[in-house]
Amino acid sequence: MSEAFETVHADVIVIGAGGAGLRSAIAAAQANPAAKVALISKVYPMRSHTVCAEGGAAGVVQAHDSLENHFNDTVSGGDWLCDQDVVDYFTHHATEEMVQLEHWGCPWSRKEDGSAAVRRFGGMKIERTWYAADKTGFHILHTLFQTSLQYPNIHRFDEFFCTDLIVDDGRCQGVIAIEIKTGDIKVFLGKAIVLATGGAGRVFRFNTNGAIVTGDGMSMAYRAGAVLRDMEFVQYHPTGLPGSGVLITEGCRGEGGILLNRHGYRYLQDYGLGPETPIGKPENKYMELGPRDKLSQAFWHEQRKGNTVPTPLGDAVMLDLTHLGEAKLLQRLPMICSLARHYVGIDPAKEPIPVRPAVHYTMGGIRTDIHTQTEIAGLYAAGECSSIGLHGANRLGSNSLAELLVFGKVAGEQAADHASRQPPCNNDTLLSFAKDKVAELTALREQKGTEKASRLRHEMAAAMEKAFGIYRLGDEMQTGLDTINELRARYKQVNVEDQSRVFNTEFLTTLELGSCLELAQVMATSALQRKESRGAHQRLDDYKTRDDEKYLRHTLMRYSPDGKPILDYEAVNITRSQPKERAYGAAGEQQNKQEGGS
């Protein structure tokens, strides 16, 4: 029997209140001040994972830079799997979003003359990364959250955990949520829904992500009939702290930090990123300023060669910032200093920081068109949960904060516009649909099973790390997928021991695990089927190279009730940049010269 629930009506419903969700809610509230915008989040907005972004947000601003440069860096960084119309829209609108944030009070770091400062970042030809010391995500999130407080038509529902989208007649018209504080179920009905629920890094064991990054929105959309795209592309950030995986920003290298192996050798020169640049004189797209996929892969090789440094928390390489001096470190990288001190007992002004790659970002997500519209009418997606086609096979650092602003705004405006053109919801049909879903939810909560969710979670994360890490092998991936499928079967027998209602985090983490397992299967299947190596998807079996003939295509995955995702592909939108060799360091320079580029 289904339990009773309350219904909340809104025009636009935004799910997730991190950077993308808040930007979206503000855009919707501005576009139509008469519209009721419900902003639903499983945590208070300032706890959202955007808060952890450190290094910065990209937007062309210098006279000797150009939108074309940003376009080219993004497309080659993504190994040509980016939709180029989307990249163009993005580069054209990124800078105005940085300015907008500035007007809203974001404390961007400044140059002496008072203009905004930009720093170097990996894979970016010219410095264009706006930053607020090394807490850029924190400041963007708090600026957006605090700004959102002045819009009376944004109605926040903090600590409401969304479980299922309500789709009727081909239109998305609501969502079911648990009010965490009471355990009561609420049904939100609206005319347009924006998903801004973030990534799914917690599918993997060793990651830079917060506990909440469990792919709930991706899974909800997938189960409701939306398409997941390019899910095999999972980014390893080259510099996480050993043990915890806590992120050590790329901004460290942007400021001139260098990476050393156990012999004190700058090993990146052996991996197509050299020649070595002088210490204290970083050069864009050389050495430590190469893209994340290449740097993480170099670590893997160094580890195999026995060149990494064994530490009590596992193998590492050394990120040396000592030459930057204490004053600059405290000014530009204060949080890094504090994190290093607390979590590995190191003062970066005196000693190098041990680091190793950690899962950081899901390039793939819910497929949308350039207007953030998904397959389902009335459903939009923005930020890490979406796959709008910006990042391709490997995201460049500082493009994701810019993305959530640019496309968060688009999603909010699109949703507000869509909502204004919709007839009122047909309550009876929607509520009867909701009733069935609520009954499933109640059944799971009350189920007496035999499996422990925490156990399944550990096994999933370990299996994914083993089979779908920096390098992948066909037979290992098959074993990984088999394990995930077994875990999915065991999940059906999961037992929620805690039968109380108020703030029942065991039940919520069990639901999160369900989403993670759904996505793990999609990632694994997508990876196994992509028989080439591109960007963050690198194979060591028979498919070591990029195969544009067969795989210059996006992977699509559709949900099927029988538990086996349905695989398909679609063309990449290439407008003017034809695929070529990805080259960095001197090789990149050479390639530029041959093409007569600047």
| Residues numbered 423-452 forming contacts with another protein, rule: CB under 8 A | 452
The response to whether 45 counts as a known ligand-binding position is yes
Q: Token pair 């919801």 is at which residue?
A: 425
The nearest distance, CB 501 to another protein, in angstroms, is 7
Among 3, 429, 503, 597, the residue binding another protein under the rule CB under 8 A is 503
The sign of the torsion formed by the CA atoms of 576, 121, 202, 148 equals: negative
Task: Please state, in angstroms and as integers, the Cα–Cα distance from residue 538 to each residue in 274, 463, 468, 471, 528, following that order.
Answer: 21, 17, 9, 5, 11
Radius of gyration of the chain measured on its C-alpha atoms: 23
For helices 474-491 and 505-529, the axis angle rounded to 10 degrees is: 150
Residues between 88 and 147 with contacts to another protein, criterion CB under 8 A: 96, 98-100, 102-105, 107-116, 135, 138-139, 142, 146-147
Which residues between 155 and 184 bind another protein (CB under 8 A)? Answer: 158, 181
Cα 312 to Cα 393: distance, rounded to the nearest angstrom: 33
Cα-Cα-Cα-Cα torsion 214, 216, 217, 220, nearest 10 degrees, comes to: 150
Q: Closest distance between another protein and the C-beta of residue 142, in Å?
A: 7
Residues numbered 189 to 208 that lie near another protein (CB under 8 A) are 202, 205-206
Consult the annotation and say whether 197 binds a ligand. no
Q: Is 127 annotated as a binding residue?
A: no
Cβ 110 to another protein shortest distance, Å = 5
Nearer to another protein, 450 or 500 (CB): 500
Q: Rank residues 165 and 200 by Cβ distance to another protein and give the closer one.
A: 200
3-class secondary structure, 514: helix
Span near another protein by CB under 8 A; candidates 73-81, 292-300, 495-503, 528-536: 495-503
Nearer to another protein, 27 or 393 (CB): 27
Burial 518-532 (b: 16+ CB within 10 A, else e): bbbbbbbbbbbebeb
Q: Which x/- pattern over 457-476 shows residues binding another protein (rule: CB under 8 A)? A: xx--x---------------
Interface positions, 533-572, toward another protein (CB under 8 A): none
What's the CA dihedral at 367, 76, 359, 336 to 10 degrees? Answer: -120
Q: Which is nearer to another protein, 273 or 401 (CB)?
A: 401
573 CB neighbour count, 10 Å cutoff: 14
Measured CA to CA, the distance from residue 40 to residue 211 in angstroms comes to 18
16 is in an annotated binding site: yes
Asked if 478 touches another protein (CB under 8 A), the answer is no
**Smaller CB distance to another protein: residue 503 or 540?**
503
**CA atoms within a 13 Å half-sphere pointing along the CA-CB vector of 469:** 19
Residues 405-424 that bind another protein (CB under 8 A): none
Using the minimum distance from each CB to another protein, give the nearer residue, 79 or 97: 97
Residue 527 CA to residue 231 CA, distance in Å, equals 8
Which x/- pattern over 330-349 shows residues binding another protein (rule: CB under 8 A)? -----x--xx--xx------
Nearer to another protein, 499 or 598 (CB): 499
Of 160-168, 415-423, 456-464, 478-486, the segment contacting another protein by CB under 8 A is: 456-464
Q: How are beta strands 192-195 and 379-381 bridged, if at all?
A: parallel
Candidates 236-244, 252-260, 422-430, 543-551: pick the segment binding another protein (CB under 8 A). Answer: 236-244
Applying the rule CB under 8 A, the residues between 285 and 314 that interact with another protein are 312-314
- Cβ closer to another protein: 205 or 285? 205
**Is residue 35 part of an annotated ligand binding site?**
no
The span from the CA of 159 to the CA of 503, in Å, is 10
Q: Which two tokens stand for residue 116?
A: 């905004």
> Is 364 within any annotated ligand binding site?
no
222 contact partners, CB below 8 Å, separation of at least 6: 228, 366, 518, 519, 522, 557, 558, 559
Q: Does the annotation place 254 within a ligand binding site?
A: no
Beta strands in 526-583 (DSSP E): 553-558, 566-571
| Minimum distance from residue 286 beta carbon to another protein (Å) | 29
CB of 496 to another protein, least distance (A): 8
**Helix, coil or strand: residue 567:** strand
Query: What does the alpha-carbon distance between residue 445 and residue 505 come to, in Å, rounded to a whole number?
Result: 12
Residue 356 annotated as part of some ligand binding site? no
Rounded distance between C-alpha atoms, residue 579 and residue 194, angstroms = 33
- CA 453-457-458 angle, to 5 degrees, is 120
Binding-site member from 2, 67, 243, 279 for another protein (CB under 8 A):
243
- CB-facing half-sphere around the CA of 410: CA atoms within 13 A: 23
Asked if 40 contacts 164 with a C-beta cutoff of 8 angstroms, the reply is no
Consult the annotation and say whether 46 binds a ligand.
yes
Q: Which is nearer to another protein, 331 or 432 (CB)?
A: 331
CA angle 31, 33, 36 (to 5 degrees): 105
- Flag whether 327 is marked binding: no
Q: Using alpha carbons, select from 149, 157, 167, 288 the residue that is nearest to residue 225.
A: 167
How many Å apart are CA 318 and CA 263, to the nearest integer? 10
Catalytic residue among 119, 266, 292, 367: 292
Is the CB of 124 or the CB of 213 nearer to another protein? 213
* Piece in contact with another protein (CB under 8 A), picked from 210-218, 442-450, 524-532, 578-586: 210-218
Q: What is the total count of residues that contact another protein (CB under 8 A)?
A: 72
Verify whether residue 156 is a known catalytic residue: no
41 is in an annotated binding site: yes
Task: Report the residue from 245, 291, 364, 397 that binds another protein according to the rule CB under 8 A.
Answer: 245
Consult the annotation and say whether 50 binds a ligand: yes
Q: Out of 7, 62, 150, 426, point to the residue binding another protein (CB under 8 A).
A: 150
Q: What track of x and - describes contact with another protein for positions 29 through 68 (by CB under 8 A)?
A: -x------------xx-xxxx-xx----------------
Q: Is 19 annotated as a binding residue?
A: yes
Burial class of residue 46, CB neighbours in 10 A (0-12, 13-18, 19+):
middle
**By three-state DSSP, how is residue 309 classified?**
strand
In the complex, what is the shortest distance from the CB of residue 277 to another protein, in angstroms, rounded to a whole number? 28
Query: Annotated binding site for FAD, which residues?
Result: 16-21, 41-56, 216, 384, 400-401
Q: Which residues are annotated as a binding site for substrate?
A: 237, 249, 360, 395
Residues placed in the known binding site: 16-21, 41-56, 216, 237, 249, 360, 384, 395, 400-401
Catalytic residue annotation: 292
